[in-house]
Amino acid sequence: MRQNVAMNQTTVYQPGVCNIGPAEIRRRRASGWWGLAIAVVFLGVAFALGWAAPWRLLVALPVFLSAQGFLQAAFHFCVGFASRGLYNFGDLGGEESIQDAEFRRKDQRKALFISLLAFAIAAVVGVVAYLIPIG
């Protein structure tokens, strides 16, 4: 396994550990920032307009998007690629297929972990938004 210690980014596929390289990581981080921006705007509007608490729960949707993006970037692991049996350490659009069934299972377990963690983060933020009193 080659590893760039200075950047701490693995440059080879590791089943259940790492399935994306720098270009894909940047894309996931960008989606994290977009989700966060949408969540902040959503909450700003919700509180400014005095939306009822149940409507504020909807902030969990962009927070889930944000958490998925940031977690995938942090773990160097794409949930979507895992579900399709792919990995990519090159330029965007250069995905390669994973043939080994055990490797695919490891990737799917990691993808489930990331998705559950993102869901938990989104649920906590949604509940907090629900519980904050207005006025």
pLDDT at 94: 87
Q: What stretches of 49-78 show up as alpha helix (H) in DSSP?
A: 53-56, 60-75
pTM of the model: 0.88
Contacts of 29 (CB under 8 A, 6+ apart): 69, 70, 73
Length in residues, the chain: 135
What DSSP element (H or E) covers 119?
Answer: helix 101-131
Residue 105 phi, psi (nearest 5)? -65, -45
pLDDT in tens, the chain (135 residues): 444 433 445 679 999 999 999 999 999 999 999 999 999 999 999 999 999 999 999 999 999 999 999 999 999 999 999 999 999 998 898 889 999 999 999 999 999 999 999 999 999 999 999 999 987
3 pairs with which residues across the strands? Answer: 10
